[in-house]
Amino acid sequence: MKAELLSRAAQAHKICLLALLTLLIIFLWQAFLEADQPIGVVTVILSAQILPFLLVLPGVLKERWRSYAWMLLFLNLYFVVVTLRLFQNPDQISDWLQLLVLSVIFTAALLFVRWKRIAETF
């Protein structure tokens, strides 16, 4: 049973990393292709979006469930911001993609934490 849980956790980890890379691409797309602001403003916004992920990235790469738990906390803020933007302008495809990717990251991270914690109790 422990091996099966660790296998599931590894799959969730891979999905989460792929979705995080996709989210980074969406952030870059929004920052440089959709924004009509000066490069300094775009850089600050992009840095603010990426910084929380960079803080937990070492733990996520080492498959530490606590890093995933911290990421779950701030993913909620991203979800709320994107949802509010979609209420203001529902035609933004990049916001819909971001909402979808955030949901995938949240689900994969939540399952990773669950399966990893249960496997550690055995």
Opening angle at CA 34, ends 57 and 24, nearest 5: 15
Distance (Å, rounded) from C-alpha 5 to C-alpha 49?
A: 32
User: Where in the chain are the domains?
Assistant: 2-121
Quickly tell me which residue has 């803020």 as its tokens.
77
Kindly give the interhelix angle for 65-88 and 39-61, rounded to the nearest 10 degrees.
150
Instruction: Tell me the whole-structure pTM to 2 decimals.
Output: 0.91
Q: What is the pLDDT along the chain (122 residues), one digit of tens a residue?
A: 899 999 999 999 999 999 999 999 999 998 888 777 888 888 898 999 999 999 999 999 999 999 999 999 999 999 999 999 999 999 999 999 999 999 999 999 999 999 999 999 88
